[in-house]
Structure 1
Amino acid sequence: MYAFAQRPDTHVVDEPFYGFYLANSPAKEYHPGTDEILSTMELDGERVVAAMLENSEKPVLFFKNMCHHMLDLDRSFMREGLNVILTREPKEMLSSFKEVINKPVMQDVGYQSQQDLLDYFLRENIPFVVVDSKDILLDPAGYLERFCQYVGIPFDTCMLSWESGPRKEDGCWAPYWYANVHKSTGFAPYKPKEITFPVSLEPLLGACQPIYERLMAYKL
């Protein structure tokens, strides 16, 4: 999201379905900042979809979504754009997620939702591509140039760096989730996380890993 926010031709929106998700799921009981999210965001999922489709602020629109935030919404609107499933190796992702949500479940981390979305795209013949975040970190310039070529927009080197600190596009949940990106000024080189993986998360890891491996068959 921060890379695309640097482009003068691009308008980015941060997780427009978050309010809808919290209003209609048990996650509102334990996600930080729930009250502010529910009081400031559109909670009707269909209205969120309509606002996305009607948006024409810039030639390129970038909507950062969590696929599990869409719950049971009709997803046919996704035919109107190119869909990118951004994923991450589960062991690293789960260990990071636990720093904010202590006892995550599959609905929180989204891998099953990503697989459901993959199946939907394949069944309905909707364009999509899978991106592994590690691949971006290994070669930011090369990967983003290839990605821009794939989606049909010119690559701009401005995507490789940004000023540290919050951005106006950040959702109100940024103080809880974006500490590291607010410290950054670009893509940090990839380094494996040096962690002792929590035993409590091993069953969830076991469920997520085969989904991640399936997604990798469709990555750019």
Structure 2
Amino acid sequence: MWSGPRNISTAMMRAFENRPDAVVVDEPLYGFYLKQTGLDHPGRDAIIAAMECDWRKVVDTLTQGPVGSGRTIHYQKHMTHHLLPQMGRDWLAQVTNCFLIRDPAEVIASYLEKRATVTLADIGVAEQAEIFDRAADRLGHAPPVIDGRDVQADPRAMLAALCRAVDIPFDEAMLAWPPGRRASDGVWAPHWYAAVEASTGFTPPAPPKAPPPGHEALIERAAPFYRRLYAHRLAAGS
């Protein structure tokens, strides 16, 4: 699942982890991303120390070997901007690529609640479009796209549509989960996951957030990438 930041990506990971046939992995390329970019994200040193930072070795774990005892689904929560230009892309053909999108204006507003500044590279919309195009070219049709607001508005219908799109059965267990932290959560969880740790399911969509003045140009640059994927989003019952 390829998402930008400040979406419902961790809640989606909770939904899949609550299935008895699935295992999840939380942003497995984050350590590589931080080490390569030198960016000073919260918990940077701990993240790099805790994770494999060779992208080739990470990809091997994502594409090879058994998922786990009795498990058939390997749900990978990815941030699109972690797929840096120097990374190979061929491995993407070995996984089922799905896309979780959110209006960039809302992403930027939410991001600025946690960080002082935001750039196009921080929100990953251009990278998301690149991965989408690559998957669409290989498949000959659009891969599955879901909008976070649609999932929040009707979790059962949208998760069922996603499951149909990737040819797995829908499981009611995806709609609710116990509160708290998980062993599978990244070491960055204390900085970002307070809301999802308190959650027990998907919450209805909140009123749209607007970023502070001065971000109009960034929104204008990001919007075409979002609109292109939004045109292919799954609908309830699809």
Q: Write the distance in 2 (CA, Å) between the matches of 1:138 and 1:145.
A: 13
Secondary structure, aligned partner of 1:74: coil
Is contact 1:13–1:62 with CA below 8 Å preserved after alignment?
yes
Please name the residue that 1:18 is paired with.
30
Is contact 2:80–2:124 with CA below 8 Å preserved after alignment?
yes
Is contact 1:7–1:156 with CA below 8 Å preserved after alignment?
yes
Give the Å deviation of 1:45. Answer: 0.4
**Of residues 136, 142, 166 in structure 1, which corresponds to 2:157?**
142
Q: Which stretch has the larger CA shift, 121-130 or 168-177?
A: 121-130
Give the Å deviation of 1:38. Answer: 0.7
Please name the residue that 1:61 is paired with.
74
Runs of 4+ in 1 over 6 A off after TM superposition: none
**Sequence identity percentage:** 39
Q: Write the distance in 2 (CA, Å) between the matches of 1:55 and 1:5.
A: 19
Q: Write the distance in 2 (CA, Å) between the matches of 1:79 and 1:211.
A: 22
Query: TM (normalized to structure 1)?
Result: 0.93
Give the Å deviation of 1:192. Answer: 1.5
Give the Å deviation of 1:201. Answer: 2.2
Q: How does 1:36-185 map to 2 (within 5 A)?
A: 36-56=46-66, 57=68, 58-72=71-85, 73-125=87-139, 128-185=143-200
Q: Write the distance in 2 (CA, Å) between the matches of 1:17 and 1:128.
A: 22
Q: Which stretch has the larger CA shift, 127-136 or 85-94?
A: 127-136
Structure ranking higher in helix proportion: 1
Give the Å deviation of 1:109. Answer: 0.6
Give the Å deviation of 1:55. Answer: 4.0
Sort the Cα spacing of 1:91 and 1:16 in 2 relative to 1 into closer, same or farther, 3 A: same
Q: Write the distance in 1 (CA, Å) between the matches of 2:151 and 2:202.
A: 8
Give the Å deviation of 1:99. Answer: 1.4
What's the RMSD between the two structures over aligned residues?
1.5
Instruction: Give unmatched runs, 5+ long, in structure 2.
Output: 1-12
Amino acid at match of 2:73: V
Deviations 1:34-81, CA, capped at 9 Å, x for gaps: 000011100000110011112421211000001210202111111112
Deviations 1:77-97, CA, capped at 9 Å, x for gaps: 111121011111111111111
Count how many residue pairs are aligned between Structure 1 and Structure 2. Answer: 217
Amino acid at match of 1:148: C
Please name the residue that 2:19 is paired with.
7
Instruction: Give unmatched runs, 5+ long, in structure 1.
Output: none
Query: TM (normalized to structure 2)?
Result: 0.86
